[in-house]
A and B are shown apart, each in its own frame.
Chain A
């Protein structure tokens, strides 16, 4: 398998549930990202991990909890979400060297909070 793979592709959860989104990259990259894509809004960068260390948290509410156990895997743990958190969550990865890097995206997880 190649590229960036996200599971599940679709998720419906209640506001009191706890669930996790998974992202795996098979590109040998050293940086991974979570983005949120809501209707009628630009993509929002949520978290950045470089070499498994979180280097950016873009003022994301604590009900979203990322985890990066190694450079190939990234998780987004969800708990007590709100309906406005319904969105497409995109994972991406890049190979960081000189700053001239490009992001490769997964297909996303469509999350619906009911």
Chain B
């Protein structure tokens, strides 16, 4: 069965600092991996996705993620955060793309001015 673990429930960083959000997955085959962001009271917006190929994936809003098969990880990074990045971030794994998405519990990101 698929599962996703986001070890950090809440992270606080200063504006301008770098960010890394952790995601570990469990899945028997090559997974399809996603990062979504949710602002308060809003739905989920796709930041980036990995299906195959280059293991370093670029997304929107300056985010990137790296797929590391040996570590079963898909960590999200941003070199310099902005106050508008404060939100909740969800990692997801899909055996068949969008058809069977399993989400992590989310990491809430707070930005200090």
Chain A residues with CB under 8 Å of chain B are 4, 6, 31, 33, 40-43, 45, 48, 50, 55-56, 90, 92, 94, 96, 99-108, 110
B71 interface residue (CB < 8 Å to A): no
CA distance A31 to B41 in the complex (A): 24
In which size bucket is the chain B interface?
20 to 34
Q: Which of B46, B99, B105 contacts A96 (CB 8 A)?
A: B99
Q: Could you write out 16 A-B pairs with CB less than 8 Å apart?
A: A42-B105, A43-B44, A43-B101, A45-B101, A45-B102, A100-B52, A100-B97, A101-B97, A102-B46, A102-B98, A103-B46, A104-B46, A107-B41, A107-B43, A108-B41, A110-B41
A108 touches B101 (CB 8 A): no
B49 touches A102 (CB 8 A): yes
A3 CB, min distance to chain B CBs, angstroms: 9
What is the chain B residue whose CB lies nearest that of A58? B100
Q: Which of A40, A43, A99, A110 contacts B99 (CB 8 A)?
A: A99
B34 touches A102 (CB 8 A): yes
CA distance A26 to B100 in the complex (A): 22
Chain B residues positioned under 8 Å from A101 (CB to CB) = 96-99
B residues 14-56 with Cβ under 8 Å of A? 32, 34, 36, 41-46, 49, 51-52
What is the chain A residue whose CB lies nearest that of B36? A105
Chain A residues positioned under 8 Å from B102 (CB to CB) = 42, 45
A108 touches B43 (CB 8 A): yes
CA distance A48 to B99 in the complex (A): 7
B67 interface residue (CB < 8 Å to A): no
A94 touches B90 (CB 8 A): no
Q: A42-B104, A43-B90, A50-B99 are in contact. List 18 more A-B contacts (CB 8 A).
A: A4-B43, A31-B99, A42-B102, A42-B105, A43-B44, A43-B101, A45-B102, A48-B99, A48-B100, A92-B98, A99-B32, A102-B34, A102-B46, A103-B98, A105-B44, A106-B43, A108-B42, A108-B43
